[in-house]
Amino acid sequence: MGLFNSLMSKIFGHAAPATTASASQVAAAAPAAGGAPQTPAAAGSSAPAPAAAAVVDVAAVLNDLAKKNPEKLDWRKSIVDLMKLVGMDSSLTARKQLATELHFTGDMNDSASMNVWLHKQVLKKLAENGGKVPPELLS
Provide the pLDDT confidence category of residue 26 given band limits of 50, 70 and 90: very low
Note the pLDDT tens digit of each residue in 89-124. Answer: 999 999 999 999 999 999 999 999 999 999 999 999
In 3D space, the residue among 18, 46, 43 whose CA is nearest the CA of residue 30 turns out to be 43
Question: pTM of the predicted model, to two decimals?
Answer: 0.73
Using alpha carbons, list the distances in angstroms from residue 11 to 38, 56, 123.
31, 8, 11
Confidence label for 61 from pLDDT (cuts 50, 70 and 90): very high
> From the CA atom positions of the chain, what is the Rg in Å?
18
Q: What is the tens place of the pLDDT at every residue in 82-98?
A: 999 999 999 999 999 99
